[in-house]
């Protein structure tokens, strides 16, 4: 690992993958320094200053709400060199595909009426605390208990009969796994999902119940992504990526359409971030129709792949270590990175304790039995990691509710967990 100076803090990066995004969304960005597989030059950025260039402003902005990664968190990141190794990463050499509002509308048509239009609830307590009108988009009530099935149905709709006959394979800590199993079952497609050995037993059981074969050979998220790619090569099954696929991203963008239609007065949307597929899809939809609406990503400090990549200008791998297992992506997608650079207004971080507080709030005050990953947006509002403008309408996405009872009890009441 190589030390990098970011925001006047010491941060430790994993070694980057050298190729840069080539899609138009990223073409106008300031190029990053040339890297070799094993070296990363020092980068110094002014404190609390980030480069953002949205399609409607095309300007540099300073954001006082950005939360820096402290030394104690940076020390928790660890990983290995990936450049040149065979596995998932060789697919990153492909040219990135443009994703626009037409693709999001096409995804909505492909999904049809097979999914729920999930409700939005107001939160008087969060509104009083922040001075904004805070709403909660309850995507935990979606089929399979999370938003992931939107992207999966969008992706499966693009497969040919020959591809469907070969079957599909996914990789996930649980929510995408269940979505792949569920979607494949609807389509009559054989499915296999690579999960890692520390994944939630409840999510493993649910994935099998939806009809997928579960592979548990991988010890951790990084190994799981590599194994999924290897199995796809060996078996000929079609990889349904959890976030770095244009049709997956377009499917997640349908959530953005719902929020704009249900709450046209919205001024900002806070989105949980793992690999970046959800925030990328929402940003594509929202910025195309309402470029004035802010799209804010929220990541755990201990699983901050998108934040790290945007801050350093390079795709990196991290070692996720967060209670928000639904956000345990070991890297942010290349499509997601390119879209985030162009359309996401900010990415903020929340600590493990702050995530716990957000989850307790949603359980106790809003009566939403969410998982930790679904609570990060609420945590950002509770703790001030993101401070909305007074009087604006803010939507916090509660992205999922697949949590084991013992996990939930350990967070809600540590003395009993």
Q: Which residue numbers are catalytic?
A: 148, 399
- Please state at what angle helix 405-412 crosses helix 352-364, rounded to 10 degrees: 100
Longest CA span, the chain: 55
- Other C-beta atoms within 10 Å of 141: how many? 16
* Angle, CA of 103, 104 and 105, to the nearest 5°: 90
324, two tokens: 């928000």
Q: Answer whether 266's CB lies under 8 Å from 394's CB.
A: yes
Backbone angles phi, psi at 106, to 5 degrees: -65, -40
- Other C-beta atoms within 10 Å of 391: how many? 9
Question: Distance between CA 352 and CA 332 in Å, rounded?
Answer: 20
Q: How many CA atoms lie within 13 A of 369 on its CB side?
A: 9
Q: Are strands 9-13 and 2-6 parallel, antiparallel or unpaired?
A: antiparallel
Question: Distance between CA 170 and CA 147 in Å, rounded?
Answer: 16
- Please state at what angle helix 352-364 crosses helix 376-383, rounded to 10 degrees: 100
Identify the CA nearest to 410 among candidates 218, 207, 178, 200: 200
Strand partners, 133: 393
């Amino acid at each position: 690992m190589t030390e990098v100076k970011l925001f006047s803090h010491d941060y430790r990066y994993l070694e980057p993958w050298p190729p840069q995004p080539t899609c138009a969304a990223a073409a106008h960005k300031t190029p990053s320094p040339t890297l070799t597989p094993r070296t990363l030059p020092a980068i110094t950025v002014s404190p609390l200053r980030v480069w953002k260039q949205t399609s409607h402003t095309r300007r540099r902005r300073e954001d006082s709400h950005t939360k820096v990664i402290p030394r104690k968190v940076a020390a928790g990141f660890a990983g290995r060199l990936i450049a040149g190794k065979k596995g998932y990463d060789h697919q990153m050499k492909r040219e990135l595909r443009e994703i626009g509002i037409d693709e999001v509308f096409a995804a909505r048509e492909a999904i049809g009426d097979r999914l729920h239009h999930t409700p939005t609830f107001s939160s008087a307590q969060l509104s009083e605390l922040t001075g904004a009108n805070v709403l909660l988009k309850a995507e935990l009530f979606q089929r399979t208990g999370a938003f992931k099935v939107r992207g999966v149905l969008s992706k499966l709709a693009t497969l040919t009969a020959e591809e469907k006959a070969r079957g599909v394979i996914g990789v996930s800590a649980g929510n995408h796994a269940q979505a792949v199993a569920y979607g494949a079952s609807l389509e009559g497609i054989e499915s296999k999902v690579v999960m890692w050995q520390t994944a939630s037993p409840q999510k493993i059981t649910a994935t099998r119940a939806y009809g997928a074969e579960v592979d548990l050979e991988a010890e951790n998220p990084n190994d799981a992504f590599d194994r999924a790619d290897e199995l796809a090569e060996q078996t000929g099954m079609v990889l349904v990526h959890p976030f770095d696929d244009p049709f997956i991203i377009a499917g997640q963008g349908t959530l953005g359409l719902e929020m704009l239609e249900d709450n046209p007065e919205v001024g900002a949307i806070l989105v949980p971030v793992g690999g970046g597929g959800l925030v990328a899809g929402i940003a594509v939809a929202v910025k195309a129709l309402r470029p004035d609406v802010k799209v804010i990503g929220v990541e755990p400090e201990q699983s901050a792949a998108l934040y790290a990549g945007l801050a350093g200008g390079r795709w990196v791998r991290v070692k996720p270590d967060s209670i928000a297992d639904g956000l345990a992506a070991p890297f942010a997608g290349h499509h997601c990175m390119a879209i985030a650079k162009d359309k996401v207004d900010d990415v903020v971080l929340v600590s493990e304790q702050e995530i716990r507080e957000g989850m307790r709030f949603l359980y106790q005050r809003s009566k939403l039995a969410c998982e930790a990953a679904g609570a990060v947006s609420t945590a950002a509002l509770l703790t001030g990691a993101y401070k909305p403008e007074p009087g604006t309408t803010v939507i916090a996405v509660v992205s999922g509710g697949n949590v084991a009872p013992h996990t939930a009890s350990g967070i809600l009441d540590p003395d009993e967990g």
